[in-house]
């Protein structure tokens, strides 16, 4: 079985896998955790270095499929929160995992931003009138063979969401401050079958939600941009 198939067929990652380490960079200062500061940072980003993980697995991929995801930051009175989805368990790819709304680029998508907006509307019913795109992160290559453009947007309430029941089991929000604090960034490892090797990944467990893998990896890059 190819590495891609092994990884995409994993329905979940057990939460009792050992924690090898906790990131020690500290937390993003509270003064930066607001829409105005984030908008300014993305309009004039500093020099910073994205974090690359799973390089030994990426080396086995010959081609990558283009995709985009939306990183939707909801502007709540109590502060920004990140909207995430829990994928249904019967899907062929990334079943049962915590994900951003998003998917593969289609031929009629005018841009990566268009892909992210279209997928968010299809997956969770997020109307475009509520979405203010403010920037993007560097492309993120996953060990499952996707070259993902993370598109960052501010979401203005009130809004009503209608999840696609085939793809989305549930929708939830996580305080942005929780995700931008390195004490909540765990490093864990999983031994893959058939001699493929060890996959080391980030996890950011929040309440009953186990945020890990590419979703956590892209959040780590947003964390680095916020701290730079």
pLDDT score for 93: 56
Give SS3 for 103: strand
Domain residues of the chain, as ranges?
40-227
Tell me which H or E stretch contains 124. helix 112-124
Which residues is 155 bridged to in the sheet? 74, 131
Question: Could you read off the pLDDT of 210-228 as tens digits, one per residue?
Answer: 999 899 999 999 999 999 9
- Tell which CATH classification among 2.60.40.10, 3.40.50.261, 3.90.79.10, 3.40.50.1820 matches the domain 40-227: 3.90.79.10
Distance CA 112, CA 43 (A): 18
pLDDT score for 2: 44
pTM of the model: 0.91
C-alpha 215, offset from chain centre: 3
pLDDT band at 89 (very low <50, low <70, confident <90, very high): low
Please determine, for residue 56, whether its predicted confidence score (pLDDT) is greater than 80: no
Pairing between β-strand 131-136 and β-strand 102-104 as defined by DSSP bridges: unpaired
Please determine, for residue 68, whether its predicted confidence score (pLDDT) is greater than 70: yes
pLDDT score for 190: 79
pLDDT score for 4: 47
Q: Which residue has the higher pLDDT, 3 or 109?
A: 109
Q: How many beta carbons lie within 10 A of that of residue 29, not counting itself?
A: 11
pLDDT score for 80: 98
* Structure tokens that stand for 211 in this block: 């945020």
Residue 128 phi, psi dihedral angles, 5° rounding: -65, -25
Distance CA 204, CA 38 (A): 21
């Amino acid at each position: 079985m190819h590495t891609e198939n092994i990884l995409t067929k994993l329905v979940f990652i057990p939460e009792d896998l050992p924690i090898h380490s906790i990131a020690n960079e500290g937390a993003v200062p509270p003064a930066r955790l607001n829409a105005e500061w984030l908008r300014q940072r993305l309009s004039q980003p500093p020099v910073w270095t994205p974090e690359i993980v799973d390089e030994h697995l990426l080396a086995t991929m010959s081609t990558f499929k283009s995709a985009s995801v939306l990183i939707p930051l909801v502007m709540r009175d109590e502060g920004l929160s990140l909207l995430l989805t829990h994928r249904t368990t019967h899907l062929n790819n990334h079943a049962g995992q915590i994900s951003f709304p998003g998917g593969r680029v289609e031929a009629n998508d005018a841009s990566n931003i268009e892909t992210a907006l279209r997928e968010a509307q299809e997956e969770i019913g997020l109307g475009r009138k509520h979405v203010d795109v403010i920037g993007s992160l560097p492309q993120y290559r996953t060990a499952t063979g996707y070259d993902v453009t993370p598109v960052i947007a501010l979401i203005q309430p009130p809004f009503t969401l209608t999840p696609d029941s085939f793809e989305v089991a549930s929708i939830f929000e996580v305080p942005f401050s929780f995700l931008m604090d390195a004490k909540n960034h765990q490093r864990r490892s999983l031994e893959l079958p058939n001699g493929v090797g060890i996959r080391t990944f980030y996890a950011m467990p929040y309440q009953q939600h186990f945020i890990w893998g590419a979703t956590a990896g892209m959040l780590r890059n947003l964390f680095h941009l916020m701290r730079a």
